Amino acid sequence: MTKGYWVSVYPAISDPEGLTAYDKLARPAVLAGGGRVLSRGSRVVAREAGITQRAVLIEFDSLEQAVATYESEAYQKALAALPHGYERDFRIIEGTD
């Protein structure tokens, strides 16, 4: 079975403290869904059209698990806590064997 990944990049963060409410809800939702945080706000070396803003990479045992966690009630509550005006490029992708 191939793994699933959440990949999110924040092109613009005008209020970093505004993410606190989201983080407090999102982390337990991700862990409850079986997610493993591989990178969260670590250093970024950007190339080509890349940006150096906050990037997050979370691994799940399968794509289905990644999608189910995103659609879970707990994670939807976290999304509702994201402050207005946040720009985020979020994708759920399937890994390779």
Q: Is the pLDDT of residue 36 over 90?
A: yes
The whole-number pLDDT of residue 41 equals: 74
Q: What is the CATH number of the domain that holds 56?
A: 3.30.70.100
Expressed as residue numbers, the domain containing 76 is: 4-94
Residue 15, CA distances (Å) to 10, 19, 23, 24, 89 in order: 12, 8, 14, 16, 17
| DSSP designation for 79 | H
In 1-97, which residue ranges form alpha helices assigned H by DSSP? 19-32, 63-71, 73-80
Q: Identify which of 67, 50, 49 has the alpha carbon closest to the alpha carbon of residue 58.
A: 67
Rounded to an integer, the average pLDDT of 41-69 is: 89
Q: How many domains does the chain have?
A: 1
Strand-pairing partners, residue 14, are none
* 82 pLDDT tier (thresholds 50, 70, 90): confident
> Looking up tokens 């982390």, which residue turns up?
27
Burial class (CB in 10 A: 0-12, 13-18, 19+), 52: exposed
